[in-house]
Structure 1
Amino acid sequence: MRPRVRPRTLFIWLGLACMLAILLSLSLGPVSLPLTDTLQASLRLVGVPLSAEGLQQAQMIIGQIRLPRTLLGLAVGAVLALSGVAMQGLFRNPLADPGLVGVAAGAAVGAAVAIVGARWLGNVPEGLSPYLLSLCAFLGGLGVTALVYRLGRRDGQTNVATMLLAGVAMTALGGATVGLFSYLADDATLRTLTFWNLGSLNGASYARIWPLLLVATGISLWLPRRARALNVLMLGESEARHLGIDVECLKRELVFCTALGVGAAVAAAGLIGFVGLVVPHLVRLLAGPDHRVVLPASLLAGGALLLMADLLARLLLAPAELPIGIVTAFIGAPFFLYLLIRGRA
């Protein structure tokens, strides 16, 4: 596949798109701010000594509400896109999705336990209470992924096809478990669980996003170092071994990064689909299959796409707010169908 856009040009456009998405995310909402006020207030927040005259309201809205939400959207989009690249490289299939290893289903089960089972847990320690939902979702995602990976191991080797089938089975089991908890929930709890499963950046705060930012930074620094190994793996496992790649170690790293990233993203923002499928594939269509370009480009494109989807979720039915998972599904599903039709043609 020959690239349609030069990597440097692609990075320039994606960087500009990401900056525009950040600016719009900080400016628009129930209370829209002029772009000049947004820029000046944002510069003051990062320590630039500017006059504060007339900027108190803008600085308060951006600093306390919109900046945490924007950072959360950037981190979730970037992590989901990078996880999508990792899974597509592992399965050597451009239509693979981060949910194939069951991490999203496990996180959903963990969240259901935290939401519905809170009344059975008794008094939760006050320091743990704000993090209970995120912690349970994160641990659920890691636990299911570890089980899927263990089921795919045999005689010291990881069978990708077996791991894929185990992930499909665990996803179905996770869906049934969430359905059971939904049946057991009362009206208020059911509403909370339903909206969490649809995904949202609402309620973002600095306390909620710092674990995800740490995970996103680690994955963003680590995965590009494995770009060459991912390029070689595209030739096949035996060819990669002959070229000196430790294939089993690479598989463990890809599964671990996906479990860690998707688990943290789902724990922070709920279930958000199609980002990990659409973004890497779109980048490959534009820039070719070289992971040295695909990984950093997907990071930028994922963050920009999720911020724009969140902006639509906030503005389409204002003052009400759509769950962001609905918006990404409306974007991703038609694109997925287009890929299927294009593949048949």
Structure 2
Amino acid sequence: MEIKTMMPKLIKWSLSLSVLLAILFLVCLISLSIGTMTIPINKLIQILTNQSNNTHYTILMDIRLPRILVGISVGGALSISGVILQALFRNPLVEPYTLGISGGAALGVSLNIVLSLYEYYVLSLPFFGMIGAGCVIIIISSLNISGLVQNVQRLLLIGVMISYVCNSLFMLIISLSKSEEMHSIMFWTMGSLEEPSQLLIYCLLIVSIMGCLVTFRYSVDLNVLSFGEEDAYHLGVNVQKVRNILLMIASILTGFCVSVAGIIGFVGLVVPHFVRLVLGNDHRIITGASFITGAIFLILCDLLARTVISPLELPVGIVTGLLGGLIFIYALVYK
């Protein structure tokens, strides 16, 4: 009987994921094709397989494809972080950016840059980012558990205050840094999918996929937690264990994303909202669909950032900030 009732859902979910994957593939092809130098889509396979044009091959393999991989990883990871935080806090308006978690990660990464630790080991960048994000998550979670945060507005206000504190410390670090470090830090904070380190790109891709899989593993628990922690406890969910694991996943994903791509806001807010609107509130489908939709959204934003004032380029964080900020204001006022 349960199989019969689940079958329509499984068919709908399978079709939805298939459509999203097809859209992602199409968006990736368009992103590979369009830029300062346009490459026809029908010639992409020929260039990639035969390397018939060294210039085109270099553009595709060294510039555009790495950006797409970063876009998939960061867009997916930030969306998963948003899904986790919204489920655990039972608040549809929270995400890494609005809670100040991205600011904490940025503070950790900027400290690493000023101390030049990344020159010795490039993976120290995401490590510092994860520490910064984890510290903010611990603060927010402690306030929420203790009952000091009773409503949506207060939680968001605390997130804004944490962002201000992190930003002030960040500006202090910049003021004490060298001029060349100041320029690199400022450009990095605006958000960009351009990452020269292949090691960071592939590590980010692996971490984001693993984060999605672990979150999916706890998707049923997230469904139960949406009724409240007390109800979840009585239904057999190890609330503390699930909460700690998923908060750790959110801090790892956010810290890694910020260390590679800078501060890219509102992806974790916009994408889960859209997915819930279309597919419902079951985290068994929300998790995978949010990852793919987040990848599509960020690649499209990056494409817009690269082409709207070509040959100049906008930071992708500005594009996501404008689009996501408008949606956030609408959601805060009308929902």
TM range (shorter): 0.7 to 0.9
Q: Check the 8 A contact 1:37/1:55 in 2, yes or no.
A: no
Q: CA deviation at 1:291?
A: 0.8
Q: Check the 8 A contact 1:30/1:318 in 2, yes or no.
A: yes
The alignment's C-alpha RMSD in Å is 2.6
2:311 to 297, 314, 319: 319
Equivalent-residue separation in structure 2 for 1:253 and 1:160 (angstroms) = 21
Q: Check the 8 A contact 2:195/2:201 in 1, yes or no.
A: no
**Matched AA of 2:334:** R
**Matched AA of 1:218:** M
Equivalent-residue separation in structure 1 for 2:265 and 2:197 (angstroms) = 22
Relative distance call for 1:81 and 1:289 in structure 2 (3 A) is same
Partner residue of 2:69? 71
**Matched AA of 2:305:** A
Partner residue of 1:334? 326
**Matched AA of 1:227:** S
Match status 1:272 vs 2:264? yes
Q: Check the 8 A contact 2:97/2:266 in 1, yes or no.
A: no
Q: How does 1:48-87 map to 2 (within 5 A)?
A: 52=50, 54-87=52-85
Q: CA deviation at 1:311?
A: 0.5
Partner residue of 2:186? 194
Q: CA deviation at 1:57?
A: 3.2
Relative distance call for 1:245 and 1:66 in structure 2 (3 A) is same
Q: CA deviation at 1:331?
A: 1.2
Equivalent-residue separation in structure 1 for 2:108 and 2:98 (angstroms) = 17
Match status 1:301 vs 2:293? yes
Q: CA deviation at 1:53?
A: 6.7
2:113 to 101, 112, 115: 115
**Matched AA of 2:68:** T
Match status 1:171 vs 2:131? no
**Matched AA of 1:14:** L
2:27 to 15, 21, 25: 21
1:96 to 80, 94, 97: 94
Partner residue of 1:49? none
Which stretch of structure 1 is more off in the superposition, 161-170 or 238-247?
Answer: 161-170
Partner residue of 1:206? 198
2:254 to 255, 259, 262: 262
1:145 to 115, 137, 150: 137
Q: Check the 8 A contact 2:195/2:261 in 1, yes or no.
A: no
Relative distance call for 1:125 and 1:161 in structure 2 (3 A) is closer
Unaligned runs of 5+ in 2: 1-8
- 1:240-292 CA-to-partner distances (Å, cap 9, x unmatched) read 11111111111112211100100001111000000000000111111111111
Q: Check the 8 A contact 2:305/2:315 in 1, yes or no.
A: yes
Which stretch of structure 1 is more off in the superposition, 182-191 or 256-265?
Answer: 182-191
Q: Check the 8 A contact 1:73/1:306 in 2, yes or no.
A: yes
Which stretch of structure 1 is more off in the superposition, 294-303 or 25-34?
Answer: 25-34
Matched residue count: 321
1:281 to 256, 259, 273: 273
Which stretch of structure 1 is more off in the superposition, 130-139 or 204-213?
Answer: 130-139
Equivalent-residue separation in structure 1 for 2:148 and 2:244 (angstroms) = 15
Q: CA deviation at 1:332?
A: 0.8
Equivalent-residue separation in structure 2 for 1:143 and 1:210 (angstroms) = 25
Q: CA deviation at 1:131?
A: 4.7
Equivalent-residue separation in structure 1 for 2:123 and 2:36 (angstroms) = 28
Relative distance call for 1:245 and 1:132 in structure 2 (3 A) is closer
Equivalent-residue separation in structure 1 for 2:124 and 2:211 (angstroms) = 24
**Matched AA of 1:173:** V
**What TM-score does the superposition give when structure 1 sets the normalisation length?**
0.84
- 1:135-191 CA-to-partner distances (Å, cap 9, x unmatched) read 433433334434555x449xxxx4475595875554332111012223334544333
Equivalent-residue separation in structure 1 for 2:147 and 2:259 (angstroms) = 26
Match status 1:184 vs 2:176? yes
User: Counterpart of 2:256 in 1: which secondary structure?
Assistant: helix
Relative distance call for 1:189 and 1:127 in structure 2 (3 A) is closer
Partner residue of 1:32? 38
Equivalent-residue separation in structure 2 for 1:338 and 1:125 (angstroms) = 40
User: Kindly, what percent of the aligned residue pairs are identical?
Assistant: 36
Relative distance call for 1:309 and 1:53 in structure 2 (3 A) is closer
Q: Check the 8 A contact 1:68/1:205 in 2, yes or no.
A: no
**What TM-score does the superposition give when structure 2 sets the normalisation length?**
0.86
Match status 1:221 vs 2:227? no
Equivalent-residue separation in structure 1 for 2:197 and 2:42 (angstroms) = 24
Match status 1:239 vs 2:231? yes
Q: CA deviation at 1:296?
A: 0.8
